[in-house]
């Protein structure tokens, strides 16, 4: 199942554009949140991560709607990997764990092969071959 996550930082901002894009992408369920991305505790994101199951795909409109740092993004991707789920960002097509293109981008950003291999549950040699 495709599950969407939409977030804006303040109550006076509107989620409608994100929701429309997520529905267009085929999301059957969308978790909505009006809270700063700087907050570590986001109840709807936590609910979503508790709900996600094998073969589900978490979809966001842009990475900054989900995570404020590469470290936080990797934590979320690791949670998804542990549940045998995947991740896709509509605004950053390279951020797609269904094709491992995310590994290439994170490698370019300086992440180690060992760290990436652990995060994506592949052998280090796989990371080097990409």
Q: Count the neighbouring beta carbons within 10 Å of the beta carbon of residue 91.
A: 12
3-state DSSP assignment of residue 43: helix
DSSP letter at 3?
E
DSSP letter at 63?
G
**Residue 46 pLDDT:** 94
The three-point CA angle 98-40-29 to 5° equals 45
Q: Are 19 and 30 in contact (CB under 8 A)?
A: yes
In 3D space, the residue among 95, 89, 91, 125 whose CA is nearest the CA of residue 109 turns out to be 95
**What tokens does 55 get?**
């073969």
pTM for the model:
0.74
Greatest CA separation found in the chain?
A: 48
**What tokens does 41 get?**
């505790």
Active site residue 112: no
Q: Count the neighbouring beta carbons within 10 Å of the beta carbon of residue 66.
A: 24
> How does pLDDT run along the chain (130 residues), one tens digit per residue?
999 999 998 887 889 999 999 999 999 999 999 988 777 789 999 999 999 999 999 999 998 899 878 888 888 988 998 999 999 999 877 677 776 767 777 888 888 888 888 777 677 877 787 6
Catalytic choice (9, 36, 86, 89): 9
How many Å apart are CA 70 and CA 65, to the nearest integer?
A: 13
């Amino acid at each position: 199942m495709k599950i969407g996550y939409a977030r804006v930082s303040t109550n006076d901002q509107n989620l409608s554009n994100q929701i429309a894009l997520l529905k267009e992408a085929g999301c059957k369920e969308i978790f909505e949140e009006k809270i700063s991305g700087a907050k570590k505790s986001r109840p709807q994101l936590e609910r979503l991560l508790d709900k996600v199951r094998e073969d589900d795909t978490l979809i966001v409109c842009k990475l900054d709607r989900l995570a404020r740092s590469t470290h936080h993004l990797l934590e979320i991707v690791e949670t998804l990997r542990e549940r045998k789920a995947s991740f896709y960002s509509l605004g950053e097509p390279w951020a797609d764990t269904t094709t491992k293109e995310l590994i290439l981008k994170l490698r370019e950003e300086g992440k180690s092969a060992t760290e990436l291999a652990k995060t994506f549950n592949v052998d280090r040699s796989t990371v080097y071959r990409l």
